[in-house]
Amino acid sequence: MGRSSRSGGASVDASGRWVLWGEIDVTVAWEVHEILEETVDGTRKTLDLEQVTFIDSSGLRLILLACGGASRPRLLNVPPVVRDVLEMTSLDSFVDMVDEPSA
């Protein structure tokens, strides 16, 4: 299941991994919030951010949504543009960032 706008989007794969791509701004966050929120069940979330090209505070709110579980969410393949925002806002201390080789 997933949704997207012309600039970006998100989906949840069969394993429950959140996959975000493109520009994660207020428009995209508004479109995808509900489908992501439906998967918040107290378990650790994994977010694949490899294809994210931009993120604003609305996108950070989606990442914070994933922090509602029993443990810190795993952010996979965080691009520099996202890593910089996470570090500037100190949100990097609430997540585990992991680099995995692309398939």
Q: List the CATH number of the domain containing 39.
A: 3.30.750.24
**Per-residue model confidence (pLDDT) at position 102:** 61
**pTM for this prediction:** 0.86
CB atoms within 10 A of CB 69: 14
The side-by-side arrangement of strands in the sheet containing 96-98 is 2-4, 8-12, 18-24, 46-55, 74-76, 96-98
Count of domains forming the chain? 1
Residue 43 predicted with pLDDT over 90: no
Confirm whether 43 is domain-assigned.
Answer: yes
Confirm whether 77 is domain-assigned.
Answer: yes
**Per-residue model confidence (pLDDT) at position 5:** 57
Range of the domain at 60: 2-98
**Per-residue model confidence (pLDDT) at position 3:** 56
Confirm whether 80 is domain-assigned.
Answer: yes
Cα 79 vs. chain centroid, distance in angstroms?
A: 12
CB–CB of 72/43 below 8 Å? no
Confirm whether 51 is domain-assigned.
Answer: yes
Confirm whether 55 is domain-assigned.
Answer: yes
Confirm whether 103 is domain-assigned.
Answer: no
The pLDDT tens digits for 45-101 are 999 999 999 999 999 999 998 887 667 899 999 999 999 999 999 999 999 999 876
